[in-house]
Structure 1
């Protein structure tokens, strides 16, 4: 497949780029700076682009089979809503212009439900630094749910995502936070990248949110 990946230089975007290349896909990696340090591959093109600009999205997505958005603001240093909701609006508009229907996008865990039915981000112990991000991610999800003609999938990670081993295994759920027997909800960047690639390849979970965790 020919895939455009927005946010390719981030903690999620870079391993996702590497995973897609490992599987033999052709990747157009879009970063703010237009470069991806240390990563070279014959099937990789790196370019600069603004995922909050619908015209830019349309131009970059044209002639591709699918789009993966791994875009996220730098927590505490950027406007969460401008980046997250702005990207969602531009992706919806831009992909329509480009006549590309398949979109897989990363999402937050904050809008997932706990067993009580409450949202994760409504817990009084939810980190204040992440609250604006979680609210923006929930707003973006609502935008996708109100969209027609786009085969989107919104992939929420576990409550805790970070560096770690590439196990090559994970569980998949829906709108409820996944936890293990000890109550932990975790996944590594590497295995989240595997889940994103699997979702693009399988063509499943169309027009819905899923979550992945160990």
Structure 2
């Protein structure tokens, strides 16, 4: 399968790239810099801006699946611009399947409230989490022609061990943490065996 990964040089994007190659897929690793992905020499690097509709359209036409692993700025960048760029990407991919890395903040607690709205949610991550939650709303508002899936991590995602074992849930928190390696496993399992088309789900160790 031909897979293009946008944001391939980030922590999550790199693990997804490595996992896709491990499974024998042909991978284009797209990022702003166009740099090679550490630990993934077989991936083809490509410089790409998320809002470049023409480049995204070409990428979608030459791949079976797009995986978007970008996030809003943590250093004061315009989150509205990031959301607008995502919309441009959704418009550009046509009928090519797109899987999107979401955020844990939009996941639901047992009382039905969102994790990001909890009083003890860290203030340092609240703005980022709210924008990621808005991205889910953007996806849910797309016309039915868009073949999308969003995979949200657990509240804590850090580099760790690839166990290949995880549990999933639809909208509620599935567990407290997941390794970035097992998050990538869950993403590629969804690529190869679609079970959440036009839906959001989450994974936890």
How far apart are the structure 2 equivalents of 1:74 and 1:208? Answer: 25
How far apart are the structure 2 equivalents of 1:73 and 1:146? Answer: 19
TM-score by length of 2: 0.93
Task: Give 1:166-205 correspondences, 5 Å limit.
Answer: 166-179=162-175, 185-205=176-196
Counterpart contact for 2:14–2:37, Cα < 8 Å: no
Which of 158, 163, 172 is residue 154 of structure 2 equivalent to?
158
Measured on the aligned residues, the alpha-carbon RMSD in Å equals 1.5
**Cα 1:70–1:37 shift into 2, 3 Å:** closer
Which residue is 1:126 aligned to? 121
CA deviation after TM superposition for structure 1 residue 61, in Å: 1.9
How far apart are the structure 2 equivalents of 1:8 and 1:205? Answer: 22
Which residue is 1:90 aligned to? 88
How far apart are the structure 1 equivalents of 2:68 and 2:86? Answer: 9
**Cα 1:81–1:187 shift into 2, 3 Å:** farther
Task: Give 1:52-131 correspondences, 5 Å limit.
Answer: 52-83=51-82, 85-96=83-94, 99-100=95-96, 102-131=97-126
How far apart are the structure 2 equivalents of 1:122 and 1:139? Answer: 13
**Cα 1:81–1:126 shift into 2, 3 Å:** farther
Counterpart contact for 1:52–1:87, Cα < 8 Å: yes
TM-score by length of 1: 0.90
Instruction: Tell me if 1:138 matches 2:133.
Output: yes
- Runs of 5+ in structure 2 lacking a partner? none
Q: Secondary structure at the match of 1:138?
A: helix
Q: Secondary structure at the match of 2:93?
A: helix
Counterpart contact for 1:103–1:152, Cα < 8 Å: yes
How far apart are the structure 2 equivalents of 1:198 and 1:6? Answer: 18
How far apart are the structure 2 equivalents of 1:114 and 1:128? Answer: 18
Q: Secondary structure at the match of 1:110?
A: helix
